[in-house]
Structure 1
Amino acid sequence: MNTRPSPRQAIPEKREPILNAVDRVTELCFGLFMALTFVGAIKAVTADEDAGRKLFLAALGCNLAWGLADAVMYLVRTLADRGQRLTLALTVKREPDRATAVRALRDALPKALEPLVDDDELEQIRARLAAAATLPPRARLRRDDFLGALGIFLLVVASTFPVALPFLLVRDHTTALVISRVLTLAMLFTAGFALGRYTGAGAMKAGFAMTLLGVVLTAAIIALGG
């Protein structure tokens, strides 16, 4: 059976996962680093008996703000990337000269893929775009994009709680800070482990590398008075 799209049909854009493993891990690490640095900074100027609650609220508020900013930037990046792809497709579709259209497709290829794709394959893509009856007039955000932005927001905010909860549950602030930092390093190791396993870079190696990054950041915070 011929599965190629009919020339009269628009070529549908491939649906991507709402958030892939790399997105989830990097956003989780981003939230952890934000909470870690912010808690250290607030601790340096907070010493009263209500410091624990203030530290918790400060870390939560920080990650609420940055989670919202990161979610909005995710939507901006998604729309910009989709618009760039649509512009390329429209350019190729409207270009009467085949060689020029193929050259435009080649220029858009990542450098690592360029030697692997020959002009005949690019010509097939050009022909399919030229035969497409319609293409979207402009790039738009879809429902899945907003779900992805919500997922990023929740990941950044959720990463606050393991870092900040000890300040609510442990009365001694020094002990709470130690527990908070140990939990953060443990979560960073888990995130690095998952990222290394997903990318094939070595799960244990990536886990220890992410933990080392957390240790260096923590040492910098302490050196700066946090």
Structure 2
Amino acid sequence: MNTAAPIQQRMPEKRQPILNAVDRVTELCFGLFMALTFVGAVKAVTAGDDAGRKLFFAALGCNLAWGLADAVMFVLRSLADRGQRLALALSVKREQDHAVAVRILRDALPKSLEPLVDDAELELIRERLAATLALPPRAHFIRDDFVGALGVFLLVVVATFPVALPFVVIGDRTTALVISRVLTLAMLFVAGCALGRYTGAGALKAGFAMTLLGVVLTMAIILLGG
């Protein structure tokens, strides 16, 4: 009877999300705050029979513009971060003095991680970089930059709807405003919970903190006349 050694199946590599939880939550909250501020502060469009539609499209246009600007900044920030990492790798690879190369790597470490990494570990990284056959001379845009930018744009724009849509579907503007703010605070609570779970700060604590921030912003808008 032939016995064959078990074949080790290579687990498929898990693809990292282009936008992590912090990116998603912060962009969503940014869109919510933008729409909330716009809805609370703009009174010029609240006159007439189609006031709700005017306000909705005004808020949507505002977040479309800011979503586009934020998406462009995401692409540029991604390219800059990649360029910085590439410049570090090239500096280490080209440095002939091993001690200097290790010092360059140490200087690039976050202060909180510096005591946890010794020079022997950094030397291993230096050796791997030195053995790399070729590195691109400069950073280039990649597909994930634009996919991430699209995600940022959609998050900011989608945040408009729970804030502004009640003014379209509900005739009474006071009732619509109350529902709009309640929906916004509920979404901020959920977003805070997600952020707290991701960072380890505690889901409920972060959810209530984010909601409190929304309440403070809403009160500020009301005091300013919104």
What TM-score comes out, normalization by structure 1 length? 0.91
Q: Distance in 1 between matches of 2:213 and 2:120?
A: 46
Change (3 A) 1:35 1:168: same
Q: Where does 1:1-20 land on structure 2 (aligned, <5 Å)?
A: 16-20=16-20
Q: Distance in 1 between matches of 2:97 and 2:141?
A: 32
Q: Size of the alignment, in residue pairs?
A: 212
2:22 aligned residue: 22
Cα deviation, 1:32-84, whole Å, max 9, x if unaligned, reads: 00000011111366333321111100110011001101111111111111000
Q: What amino acid is aligned across from residue 24 of structure 1 in structure 2?
A: R
What TM-score comes out, normalization by structure 2 length? 0.91
CA positional deviation for 1:141 = 1.6
Q: Distance in 2 between matches of 1:148 and 1:185?
A: 26
Residue 79 of structure 1 aligns to a residue whose secondary structure is: helix
Q: Where does 1:24-63 land on structure 2 (aligned, <5 Å)?
A: 24-43=24-43, 46-63=46-63
2:6 aligned residue: none
Residue 43 of structure 1 aligns to a residue whose secondary structure is: coil
- 1:81 matched to 2:51? The reply is no
Q: Distance in 2 between matches of 1:44 and 1:68?
A: 25
Choose 49-58 or 75-84, whichever is displaced more.
Answer: 49-58
CA root-mean-square deviation = 1.2
CA positional deviation for 1:16 = 4.6
CA positional deviation for 1:140 = 1.1
Residue 49 of structure 2 aligns to a residue whose secondary structure is: coil
1:195 aligned residue: 195
- 1:161 matched to 2:168? The reply is no
Runs of 4 or more, structure 1, over 3 Å off, are none
Stretches of structure 1 that go unaligned for 5 or more consecutive residues are 1-14
Contact 1:42 1:58 in 2 (8 A): no
Identity of aligned residues (%): 82
Q: Distance in 2 between matches of 1:45 and 1:60?
A: 13
Stretches of structure 2 that go unaligned for 5 or more consecutive residues are 1-14
Q: Distance in 1 between matches of 2:222 and 2:45?
A: 13
Residue 19 of structure 1 aligns to a residue whose secondary structure is: coil
Contact 2:63 2:160 in 1 (8 A): yes
Contact 2:41 2:221 in 1 (8 A): yes
Q: What amino acid is aligned across from residue 105 of structure 1 in structure 2?
A: L
Cα deviation, 1:67-121, whole Å, max 9, x if unaligned, reads: 1011111111111110000000000101111111110000000000000000111
Contact 2:45 2:54 in 1 (8 A): no
Cα deviation, 1:155-211, whole Å, max 9, x if unaligned, reads: 110010011110000111111111101100000001001111111111111111000
